[in-house]
Amino acid sequence: MKSANNIIASVDLIDGSVVRLQQGDYGRQTRYRVDALEQLSRYIEDGSRRLHIVDLDGARDPEKRQTAFIAHLVKELSVPVQTGGGVRTEADVRGLLDAGVARVVLGSVAVSDPQTVSRWFQSFGADRLVLALDCKIDEKAVPRVVTQAWQKASSFTVAEMIEGYLSVGLKHVLCTDVAKDGLLKGSNVKLYQWLCQCYPGLRVQASGGIGSLDDIRALSATAVDGIIIGRALLEEKFTVKEAIECWLNASSPV
């Protein structure tokens, strides 16, 4: 069922500053002159009931993870927050959960060390973890997983990764077509249609490419559980309130 919960406002952080990368390239980053806490609080005031925070420092160098700053943000915010970036160890997961994060997003480590991550699902519970799958669509239209800030192609398809974690109770999947991310030209609707149809028991989050209300409306043809929106909100293409209204008034999934 559609609700305001389906719209997930997002910020990416480098050294505590709000930024956006174009297609994951640290050399093509935009810094926004906003305070992270003030921006996230504004999203809540505008109706956001879920937030997403990406630690880009941690994604590039786990030794520089911004855990303390994220803990500060979570403490001050009144809605559930999911976060990822640089999570490599069980201690990393536990530290974020202890800091009040609702769910921890697992990316590269879920690809490189599935046995360890499967144990985390059993230890922490599947509802506290999000499997993040960044992908590129190959010449046969198959979504293949990429890791390490999109710099390394893995040997796995998105389907193989999902099926490998179903046995440990996988519930939440965040999937990004990296060719769409940061460009504000729409998301890969077909990708999310396929995911929701093949895995109806999963709660799929769409990420990357949302630049207009029409892009949100296009996703009404899917059964996604969440739509992560970052740059479009920062650049005031529309507001959280407008995004929620658009989603609720769009045609029902088919």
Closest CA to 181 of 238, 217, 229, 233: 229
The Cα-based distances of 99 to 34, 83, 103, 185 in angstroms read: 24, 11, 11, 35
pLDDT in tens, 59-103: 889 889 999 999 999 999 999 999 999 899 999 999 999 999 999
For range 209-222, the mean pLDDT: 95
Q: Within the chain, what is the greatest distance between any pair of CA atoms? A: 46
- What confidence score (pLDDT) does residue 46 get? 98
State the pLDDT at residue 149. Answer: 57
Please, which residues have CB within 8 angstroms of residue 133's CB and are 6 or more apart in sequence?
Answer: 107, 143, 145, 158, 161, 162, 173, 174, 175, 176
Name the active-site residue from 12, 92, 181, 225.
Answer: 12
Model pLDDT for residues 126-135, shown as the tens digit of each residue: 999 999 999 9
Is 12 noted as a catalytic residue in this protein?
Answer: yes
Closest CA to 12 of 230, 246, 254: 230
Catalytic residue from among 57, 92, 134, 177: 134
Residue type present at position 20: R
Query: Model-level pTM?
Result: 0.94
The region of weakest confidence among 25-29, 189-193, 218-222 is: 25-29
- The Cα 203–Cα 174 span in angstroms is 9
Residue whose C-alpha is closest to residue 161's, from 188, 132, 141, 137: 132
Tell me if 217 sits within 8 A of 196, measured CB to CB: no
CATH class, domain 4-249, is alpha beta
Q: How far is CA 145 from CA 100, 142, 249, in A?
A: 29, 10, 33
Known catalytic residue at 138: no
- Rounded to whole angstroms, how far apart are CA atoms 91 and 114? 16
